[in-house]
Structure 1
Amino acid sequence: MYKTFFMAWAGILLVISFVANAAPPSSFSSAKRVAEQQVYYDQTESFYCGCTFDFDTGPTLNSCGYEIRKQPNRANRIEWEHVMPAYDIGRQRQCWQEGGRDNCRRTDEVFRRAEADLHNLVPAIGEVNGDRSNMRFAMVNNPVHEYGACQVAVSFQERSFQPPPHRIGDIARIYWYMRDTYDISISRQQQQLFEAWDRIDAVDDWERERNRRIAAVQGTSNSYVESISAEVEIVDHVAEPIFQSKTSSVYSCDMRKTCGQMASCEEARFHLQQCGNGRLDGDADGVPCESICR
């Protein structure tokens, strides 16, 4: 018993030592090197599409059935994607209004830290990173552009980007971390969407391990990924779904619907609360499609 207790506390002190000696990257350029060498050094799957890749040679597109949309050069390299775009980080800051991203890099220490935050960086196929740009995450309508078997859809008309189902929870939790850490506002509609995504896609083992590695390097942990009690007890951040499995099997988030396409109030509530389709609640009172949900 005493041996187990001693080993546990030794592990605690080691974690505390890592965090105490951790130093966040000083710039986006240095963050990319740190992410490659200390966080993703043994990872071989791109974030959105799941293509196998090598940092030097790029992605193997046929490993995930990826089809190039328009940009072969960018499609054949791995780039570091800001899950929360630099535009969303900076646009609420005075430095951005006075000179955009370059000015923020020169004059705003908070922006530099946020832009270089490792929690917000993931390896992505360059074409997907370029197409997404600073688009908001959403369930997109037609017309969309897709990438073969990669489960990503982009609507340039709507300026919206739909990620694959296995990444939606990761995205929500990264957004919440960035919001809380850097006091960045997100819309009510996005918040509803992320709450739904967090319920649908729970934290997995790699997300926890990624968080641990970043905490050791950078000194900050994403509390929405895990709560670590002395590196001994892990409490998952997983909420119960709003609808039971029977209902979830009847309705689907795969197709974004309007109120006119709803067969019932129950279906409308599912699409608002489970899929985050905020357009169904035009007056933001929590009741979707009031013509059928009276």
Structure 2
Amino acid sequence: MKKILAALALFSSITLPAFASPPATFSEAKVVAKQQVYLDQANSSMGELYCGCKWKWVGKSGGRIDADSCGLQARKQETRAERTEWEHIVPAWTFGHQRQCWQNGGRKHCVDDDPVFRAMEADLFNLYPSVGEVNGDRSNFNYGMASGVAPQYGQCKTKVDFDQRAAEPRDEVKGLVARTTFYMFDRYRLNMSRQQQQLLMAWNKQFPVTPWESERNKRIAAIMGHANPFVTGQRSWTPGYKPSGDGIVSPIPQRAAKLPPVSQITSTASAGVIIGNSDSLVYHLPSGCPSYDKVSAKNRVTFRSESEAEVAGFRKAGNCK
């Protein structure tokens, strides 16, 4: 009986993530991240993201940096250097600019109207407490090598190359930021430059998963309902890798339904239904778009209007007249 109970307990612990409830907004994500992911990390040897500083929690999700714990010196903004901020490892600007909502009205418009953007903004895998000034200096720069840049923040090893618009994090987190970036670009089907891919693939190989990164992955998976497959080894980013778009597909059924068989496409067109391709994220109008009836059944989704398609992350086909 004891063996059976132990087996049931183990099974329960494994299946728990299926009942997880991911945060719905960035504000909520910061609180959840503090309470369930990083609560015991403020005084850990790992420290915050960029400088390895310890900190003291303040309020619901904020913190005050212990500069002496990491030899931190402010570059210019002393007040901002004294506090923690929640860094998006892949900046909101980066993933936002690949959404139609950003083109229509910037970040606020995305928060208001795009459920996929809200999911990206609140994705716990992409959040990490960091020194506020370094977070601000990093801005929306890609990760890169800043070998020619002298130390900027005292003993902090992260460097920001403002001329080349690149940020090089300390070695201790290069693997983590690489695998987090792979996750975000894979899950939300983002486009990454070849140069960025090559650099991050090198970091991923050079700096393997640490015990803390593995533990962090488990904690976040219990909340999000899925792990980062680039941490667990289920997926590997290679040259020519094609992102899955797992995080884009899930919200679409709320706004789109499968079309009837191709044999019934005439009646669908007459009803004014817009056809989207869930693989290419391109939509076609019933008139003026020659590929309207050529989308394969397995990738076919429908929308009632162009705005609805664009909110879901689709763009109009380039061959539409």
Name the aligned partner's letter for residue 154 of structure 1: V
Aligned with 1:54: secondary structure?
A: strand
Residue 14 in structure 1 maps to residue 13 in structure 2:
yes
Give the RMSD, CA atoms, in angstroms.
Answer: 2.2
Partner of 2:98, secondary structure, is coil
1:210 pairs, out of 216, 221, 228, with: 216
Q: Partners of 1:195 and 1:4 in 2: how far apart?
A: 44
- The code of the aligned residue for 2:23 comes to P
Q: Which amino acid aligns with 2:187?
A: T
Write the distance in 1 (CA, Å) between the matches of 2:194 and 2:4: 46
Alignment partner of 1:58: what SS? Answer: strand
1:227–1:6 CA distance, 2 compared to 1 (3 A):
farther
* Aligned equivalents of 1:102, 1:144: Cα separation in 2: 36
Task: Please state if 1:81 is matched with 2:87.
Answer: yes
Q: Could you tell me which of 102, 113, 116 is aligned with 2:108?
A: 102
Deviation at 1:12, TM superposition (A): 2.8
1:221-232 equivalences in 2 (<5 Å):
221-227=227-233
Partner of 2:166: 160
Structure 2 contact 158–168 (Cα < 8 Å) conserved? yes
Q: Could you tell which deviates more after superposition, 141-150 or 157-166?
A: 141-150
Quickly say closer, same or farther: Cα 1:160–1:145, change in 2 above 3 A: farther
Instruction: Give me the TM-score of the superposition, normalised by structure 2.
Output: 0.68
Do residues 189 (structure 1) and 195 (structure 2) align? Answer: yes
Q: Which runs of 5+ in 2 are unaligned?
A: 239-321
What residue identity is the alignment partner of 1:29?
Answer: S
Tell me the equivalent position of 2:70. 64
Structure 2 counterpart SS, 1:146 = coil
TM-aligned CA distance change 1:206 to 1:141, over 3 Å: closer
Question: What is the aligned partner in structure 2 of residue 133 from structure 1?
Answer: 139
Aligned to 2:55: 53
Cα distance 1:104–1:144, how it changes in 2: closer, same or farther (>3 A)? farther
> Does the aligned pair in 2 maintain the 1:88–1:134 contact within 8 Å?
yes
- For residues 93 and 4 of structure 2, the distance between their equivalents in structure 1, rounded to whole angstroms, comes to 47
Name the TM-score, length of structure 1 as normaliser: 0.74
1:28 equivalent among 26, 29, 41: 26
In structure 2, do the counterparts of structure 1 residues 5 and 200 end up closer, same or farther at CA, with 3 Å as the change threshold? farther
Deviations 1:29-51 (A, max 9, x none): 00000000111010021111111
CA deviation string 1:94-140 (max 9, x = no partner): 00111111110011000000000000000000001000010110002
1:147 maps onto 2:153 in alignment:
yes
Give the letter for the 2:49 counterpart. F
Report the counterpart of residue 260 of structure 1 in structure 2: none
1:204, distance to aligned residue in structure 2 (A): 0.7
Residue 9 (structure 1) shift: 5.3
Distance 1:165 1:171 in 2: 10
C-alpha distance in structure 2 between counterparts of 1:136 and 1:152, whole Å: 13
Query: Which one scores higher on RCO, CA 8 angstroms, separation ≥ 6?
Result: 1
Supply the distance in 1 between the matched residues of 2:64 and 2:122 (Cα, whole angstroms). Answer: 22
Q: Which contiguous aligned blocks of 4+ residues in structure 1 show a shift greater than 4 angstroms?
A: 2-6
Q: Is the CA contact (8 Å cut-off) linking 2:183 and 2:228 kept in structure 1? A: yes
- One-letter amino acid matched to 2:55: F
Q: Highest CA radius of gyration, 1 or 2?
A: 2
**2 CA distance for matches of 1:143 and 1:20?**
46
Contact 2:151–2:157 (CA under 8 A) maintained in structure 1: no
Alpha-carbon deviation of 1:63? 1.0
The runs of 5 or more residues in structure 1 that have no matched partner are: 229-235, 240-294
Q: Identify which range, 185-194 or 139-148, moves more after superposition.
A: 139-148
Q: Structure 2 CA distance, aligned partners of 1:29 and 1:64? A: 28
Report the identity percentage: 46
Indicate yes or no: 2:177 matched with 1:199.
no
